[in-house]
Amino acid sequence: MASESHPAPAAAAPTGRSPWRLALGRLRRNRVALAFLALFVLIALFVLAAPLWANHVAGTGPNTTHTLEKIEVDGEKREVVNREGKPIGPVWFGAGGRFFLGADGRLGRDEMVRLMYGGRTSLFISLVAAGLTTLLSIALGLLAGYYRGWTDSVISRAMDVIWAFPVLLLGIALGTALAVGGLQLGPISISGSSIWIPILIIGVVYTPYMARPLRGEVLALREKEFVEAAVAQGAGPLRVMLGELLPNLWSTIIVFFTLNIANNMLLEAALSFLGAGVQPPNSSWGTMISTGFDVISSEPLLSVLPGTMILLTVLSLNVFGDGLRDALDPKSKLRLEAHAGLAEPEGTPV
Amino acid sequence: MKRLGTVLAAATMVAMAALGLASCGGSGGKEGGTLTGTYASFPDYLDPALSYTQEGWTAMYDTYIPLLTYARANGKAGSEIVPGLAKSLPRISNGGKTYTLELRKGLKYSDGTPVKASDFTHAVERTIKLNSGGSPFYTAAIVGAEKFQETKSGGIPGIKTNDKTGEIVVELNRPRGTFTNELGMMFVAPVPAGTPMKNLSGDPPPATGPYEIVSSDPGRGWTYERNPQWEKNNAKLMPDLPSGHVDKIEITVVRNDSTQVNEVEQGSSDWMQALVPTDRYAEVKGKYEGTQFRVEPTISNYYFWMNTTRPPFDDLKVRQAVNYAVNRDALERIYAGSLKGIQQILPPGMPGYKKLELYPYDMAKAKKLIAEANPSDRDITVWTDDEPGQDEAGAYYQDVLKKLGFDAKLKVINADNYFTIIGNQTTPDLDTGWVDWFEDYPHPNDFFQPLLSGESILPTNNGNFAEIDDPALNAKIRKLGEEEFGPKQEAEYAALDREYMEQAPWAPYGTRTLSTFVSSAIDLDKVIFNPTFGHSLASFQFK
């Protein structure tokens, strides 16, 4: 009844879709990317559930040792670590969820609990380091690209210095140096065994890899008319950078951020494997591979399990990241496909 | 029976060496070839003045010969001190305060420089100047050495040498029952007079033994070749020492012990210096014992030190609580049967050993002691190295401290640098940690003076990690060290062991067996494992 009291519009105004909605639509149609996003969410839920499993099922912490304990598996008493130092293998639910995946070695720590907590550590480091890389890259990219001149020179040369070293080598050097004495940054003191050390290292060594492309984009964007218009209206440098340039960088930043998480996870695993990342007894998937590697001939599961988790997480992030890039920046995909003679109409599911 | 066979073989070797036959290489088997071996980490130093680990001493056993040395033999026979560069054992006079030795005439270093009596003085001065972990043996004993340590100049008046006659006279402040043994330590092996006063691990000094180190790449490996002066001069002058069988020895650092086992199994490496890792121990022992594998008993102590000068370990109750809370059975299992639990300073096999069990595992008692002590500082750093066994022992210990209510953080350091780092008093947070000790010589003083005497607390290369400095106990160590060793002293050392354990500066947890594992190309029966120096590289021979 109410609708009848209002006059109908003369003609329906065309409804425009924002670039974000367009991107979301493209992403929704990319089933593979969504499937791998679901896989990543599952992995994240698995590791987030670590305290629940540890407290309510396994009844032990990730670093608690059980060398001399015996557990009842399907009514039979079994040693967690036998006299030759061999740890118990997976017992699944034979002991009510305790030692579901067996023990991690002669210390008799619960492998399942360590895998879950290790995943938390690995994911936390990867995410926070990616956040740090992103913040540093945005700041450096905007400053270098907007101001150009000597600011650009100083920032670019500083990044060249970091870039000159292979990422892993630089990470090991910093990790080893900081593992003993820790880091003192003014009033902030970070102990050598803190997970903030690998976070800082990873966050810093990957910065040039993100800051450089952002700087390139800023250099191109600052010549556009909308920037000139903002300057003409009296906008200061900070307003131009944050209000005009940054919003145009978000799609690049989001894609880089996602792919950076995957790279960080691999670097964290490599550093921890080499003893320059997460310090024992804290577990990360990298340290777990390292611990398991010593006994790979007799207990292959101890390194295969965390290795598989890293593989799945990195794969899921990379495939999803690719999908995200295709969704946010379809031109680059079309360009690539056009070169290969594979151009398809926009929106065709991949 | 296997042990008996090994001992008999070793005894035969010693007898042959005494007859001068071993140096002629006439005992069958192939002469020559290149021996390839692996270490799990680079030794602390490849410099005789500085190295204070069994890994380092093994590497230099047949390279740097002190005035006196230890018989190239397995087991107890290897504890016998014999003349090295000196003609005979020292003549002791002046109530045990003067030691006179005579250098063998005609000895030369591998670079052709003649060995002089005054080179001994240079070696002692070098050890002291470099603040070596071995310097307390000599600063406390030799007249004027303590002052030399302070001033680092002016020489040591207590050492008089005559390069013409080769006579070396050492005057001691007071009698010292262990000084003969201490003359056989690597620290005072003579080196040429011009040898720089710095760590020479990357360019080791010229050798006097059958092998010289021709190249060294710290962290990665090193190579030996036959000392050209050995055949020409030194072998004839020191007929009791073996000349070695292989022409060249190449040592590589391979961090993964399991890889080392694989390489020896496949024959791509002939020997691994490290213990067969615990997870492969049973497999290797079962497959190769008697043909390529042998268990080597040692006189050693594995323990957790607690820094008695820093809270919370400055409180006796806390230290005792830790001793009650450490379960030696768990640690035996962590070392997969290659460790036997002990709760005292002197390990089995060392004179003076009398079994002590002051701290049977009792977590409830430990927690009660902590409650009584109620330490205000509960932040603890636990130090250990990254070699198999030690890293897990450190993690176990950290868990124990957490169960006692401490906020314990584990610091795992690369084994190459571990002792240098924890032996440096400027390193922050030296609260507690793992360490091991293998005998330097078969005298109980070796487990007290360098590890527990206040005189052994050094700014660098410190060995008294607990930093215990009890004047009454220091005096007892000094007094016992001065006396000739006999049954009375043996009983007093046992009592001293108890007194120290009542102070609980350590939580000792075990004594270790090591292993010899060689490729099928090597004659296992010929391989000598000296209880102090470990493997004698000169004993390796291809079948």
Q: What mean pLDDT do residues A252-259 have?
A: 92
The CB-side HSE value for B145 (13 A sphere, CA atoms) comes to: 27
Q: Which of A65, A104, A272 should be substituted to probe chain B, the one whose Cβ sees the most B Cβ atoms within 10 Å?
A: A65
Distance CA A147, CA A219 (A): 9
Exposed (0-12), middle (13-18) or buried (19+): which is A2, by Cβ within 10 Å? exposed
> Given an 8 Å threshold on Cβ–Cβ distance, is B277 in contact with A294?
yes
**Closest Cα of chain B to A28: distance in Å?**
47
Mean pLDDT of A137-162: 95
- What's the confidence (pLDDT) of residue A338? 41
- The per-residue pLDDT for B76 is 85
For A26, the token pair is 């493209």
Residue A112 CA to residue A59 CA, distance in Å, equals 12
What pLDDT, on the 0 to 100 scale, is given for residue B27?
54
Per-residue pLDDT band for A176 (boundaries 50, 70, 90) equals: confident
Is the interface score ipTM higher than 0.85?
Answer: no
Given A106, A295, A299, which is nearest B333 (Cβ)? Answer: A106
The pLDDT assigned to A345 comes to 37
pLDDT of res. A13: 62
Adjacent-strand bridge partners of A103: A110
- Look at residue B220 in the predicted model and tell me its pLDDT: 95
Q: Which of A144, A162, A160 is nearest to A152 (CA)?
A: A144
The amino acid present at B173, given as its one-letter code, is N
**pLDDT for res A346:** 39
Q: Is B13's pLDDT higher than 50?
A: no
Q: Contact A297/B410, CB-based, under 8 Å?
A: no
Element (H, E) at A308: helix A301-328
Q: Assess contact for B265 and B518: CB atoms under 8 A.
A: no
* Rg of the Cα atoms in chain B: 23
Q: How far is A282 from chain B (nearest CA, A)?
A: 9
User: Which pLDDT band, with edges at 50, 70 and 90, does B166 fall under?
Assistant: very high
CA distance B384 to B434: 5
Query: What's chain B's average pLDDT?
Result: 92
pLDDT of amino acid A332: 61
| Cβ contacts of B279 within 8 Å, gap of 6 or more | A85, A86, A105, A294, A295, A297, A298, A299, B258, B336, B388
Burial of B283 (0-12, 13-18, 19+ CB in 10 A): middle
Residue A342: which pLDDT band, with cuts at 50, 70 and 90?
Answer: very low
The nearest CA of chain A is from the CA of B417 a distance in Å of 11
Nearest to B386 by CA among A124, A274, A156, A344: A274
Q: What is the dihedral of CA B22, B24, B28, B31, to 10 degrees?
A: 120
Question: Any idea which of A174-178, A226-230, B381-385, B510-514 has the lowest mean pLDDT?
Answer: A174-178
pLDDT at B378 exceeding the cut of 90: yes
Query: CB under 8 Å to A224, separation ≥6 — which residues?
Result: none
Cβ separation of B410 and A279 shorter than 8 Å?
yes
Q: What mean pLDDT, rounded, does chain A reach? A: 88
Closest CA to B331 of B349, B343, B348, B346: B343
Q: Quick one: average pLDDT of B186-215?
A: 97
Q: How far is A138 from chain B (nearest CA, A)?
A: 35
* pLDDT score of A248 more than 70: yes
pLDDT at A194: 86
**Most confidently predicted of A265-279, A290-304, B150-164:** B150-164
Q: Label residue A331 by pLDDT band (50, 70, 90).
A: low
B281-330 pLDDT tens trace: 888 989 999 999 999 999 999 999 999 999 999 999 999 999 999 999 99
What pLDDT is stored for residue A349 in this prediction?
35
* Contact residues, chain A, for B414 at CB < 8 Å: 176, 275
A11-20, A50-59, B70-79, B164-173: which range is least confident on average? A11-20
What tokens does A321 get?
């990241």
Top pLDDT among A7 and A187 is at A187
Lowest mean pLDDT among A331-335, B503-507, B524-528: A331-335
Which pLDDT score is estimated for A84?
81
- Work out whether strand B300-306 and strand B432-438 pair parallel, antiparallel, or are unpaired: antiparallel
Secondary structure (DSSP) of B272-341: E-SPPPHHHHHHHHHHHBTTTEEEEE--EEEEEEE-TTSTTTTSHHHHHHHHHH--HHHHHHHTTTSEE-
Question: Region B452-477: what's the mean pLDDT?
Answer: 94
